[in-house]
Amino acid sequence: MSKLGLYVHIPFCRQKCLYCDFASYASSEHLFVPYTTALCQQITDQGGMLRNLTVDTVYIGGGTPSILPLSLMDQIVASLRASFTIEAEAEISMEANPGTVTKEKLVALKTIGINRLSFGVQSFDDQLLSNLGRIHCTKDSYLAVEHAYAAGFTNVSIDLMYGLPGQTVHGFVRELEQAVALGTNHLSVYGLKLEEGTPLAVAYERGLLGLPDEAEEEAMYDQMTAFLPAIGLVRYEISNFARPGSECRHNLKYWHYEPYVGLGCAAHSFLKGERKSYITGIEEYIKAIANGDSPIAMKEILTESESMAEFIFLALRTVQGMEFAEYKRLFKTDFFSQFGEVLSKLKRQKLVATDANRLWLTERGMKFGNLVFCSFLPD
């Protein structure tokens, strides 16, 4: 079995961004301590059962993990180390909001063992940040990255967004240049999605929000996919670019169909073909753990055809694509006999390409990935 990844969910944010529908909550500081206690209990319980597996990646995400007081983050990391078999060379990532870190805090995070930071910068334009309801400004992002390097971090990622209200193609290119100028070795770049019920989606439905049109958004995408590889940030997944060797090892596990265990409210796990997720609400999660009840909200074993589709489209998100031999090893059947017709159609549409060993998305396929992914879903 592959080595295990751990995902730890910290569901707190200082304020809710206007586009966000993640499991994150503002004004919940009173739950920091009880949540950490419950989380550490779950870590102990799960670790006891999985001690025989070696962990090589840990990802602390949210929410905004960086708003948790250092003593609590220290407690969580110590609990992970005490309960799981974590490799000395494991990648231990933490998401951080640039508006929530100081130089001292970053030094302390490095000391407790965090060795990769992912900063939710999203934009280098203060007006755009304000349009999104972010709590930080551009100056915070510059300082946060600078302080991270000064603290000894060498693995620093930046998240950016495009297709934002008020954003122009020229402005976005400048933002990409600013990210690169900071010396980051990893960039995740996502297009804005209007999630139902969020304030931004509501404003859009009411005609109160101007967004770049489709052609402008496509131009932003094209600029990004041309510019970043040209300066050495190689695309390795639809939305992710890295200097060779700096790819996020934890996220690669998801796309490579490898096992991971989620810890904390709203976290997901994938282990031995079973997917499960935990209760979304913080208080409900704390109560379940305190009462010794199961915090599981959903558990499912995918059917064979669902597993096949999932394996294919997760692999296709990566530039490397899907290996036919790996498909055969996992599902004991030949890819071509099952998906030969689908494959021919997608090739005619110039969405995918193959050689003797692999299937991958073309540039066009990367842009219209959903068209490809749907083709492999069971009826």
Footprint on this chain of ligand SF4 (rule: CB under 6 A): 13, 16-17, 20, 22, 24, 62-64, 97, 120
Least distance between ligand SF4 and beta carbon 75 (Å): 22
Sign for the pseudo-dihedral over CA of 283, 192, 259, 114: negative
Least distance between ligand SF4 and beta carbon 192 (Å): 11
Task: Give the pair of three-digit tokens for residue 232.
Answer: 């050495």
Q: How far is Cα 40 from Cα 50, in angstroms, rounded to an integer?
A: 15
Least distance between ligand SF4 and beta carbon 96 (Å): 10
Closest CB to ligand SF4 among 75 and 97?
Answer: 97
Closest CB to ligand SF4 among 11 and 171?
Answer: 11
Task: Give the pair of three-digit tokens for residue 329.
Answer: 């090893």
Closest CB to ligand SF4 among 16 and 347?
Answer: 16
Least distance between ligand SF4 and beta carbon 6 (Å): 19
What are the Cα distances from residue 85, in Å, to 47, 55, 236, 276? 8, 6, 29, 22
Distance of CA 35 to the CA centre of its chain: 22
Closest CB to ligand SF4 among 17 and 76?
Answer: 17
Sign for the pseudo-dihedral over CA of 85, 86, 87, 88: negative
Task: Give the pair of three-digit tokens for residue 372.
Answer: 């490809």
Least distance between ligand SF4 and beta carbon 265 (Å): 13
Least distance between ligand SF4 and beta carbon 135 (Å): 8
Closest CB to ligand SF4 among 15 and 357?
Answer: 15
| CB-neighbour burial class of residue 208 (10 A; exposed 0-12, middle 13-18, buried 19+) | exposed
Q: How far is Cα 331 from Cα 354, in angstroms, rounded to an integer?
A: 20
Closest CB to ligand SF4 among 56 and 159?
Answer: 159
